[in-house]
Amino acid sequence: MPIPAALAEALAALALTPICHEHPPLATVEDAHAIWDNLPGAQVKNLFIKDAGKQHWLVVVPGDPRMDTKAMAPLIGSKRISFASADDLRAILGVEPGSVTPLAMMNDRNHQVRLVIHAKLMQAETLLVHPLVNTATLAMPPADLLRFLTHHGVTPALVDLEPAFLA
């Protein structure tokens, strides 16, 4: 089954039925284009970062633009950010590199991660996100994602991150 059991149960408990697309493992956004370019929906990438104060962040942005992390930091409410370690990713969100997804916030039981989503993504009809693994993609409406997050005690900050997009 491409969706891990705990996530499938959490989605079912909320009567959420995203469309699941199975595919070979996708490690990068570049890999994902081979699959996602054929799917309707907004492609996203997920940046797991931390700041100098050791606060962890999951920042969800459109899949294509590269990000200027120096410009992003003040937009999310931080001073200086860097990418967090794979060990922190596993320990806090319970996913492997390449499988990062806002759905992994369900695993952040101690609420150690602040979630920031690029505000314009919420205007998409459908978002394409991993289901905690990189061998499938879920297509789900942004409202369903927000309902899922809220159910897990997460209120994402919706922020215009375009000033941090690199051309």
Q: How confident is the model at residue 64 (pLDDT cuts 50, 70, 90)?
A: confident
Provide DSSP, the chain: --S-HHHHHHHHHTT---EEEE-S---SHHHHHHHHTTSSSEEEEEEEEEETT--EEEEEEESSSEE-HHHHHHHHT-S-EEEPPHHHIIIII---TT---GGGGGG-TT--EEEEEEGGGGGSS-EEE-SSSTTEEEEE-HHHHHHHHHHTT---EEE--GGGEE-
pTM: 0.95
* Averaged pLDDT for residues 82-106: 97
Domains of the chain by start residue, with CATH: 5-11+21-162 (3.90.960.10)
Per-residue pLDDT tens over the stretch 14-47? 999 999 999 999 877 777 888 888 899 999 999 9
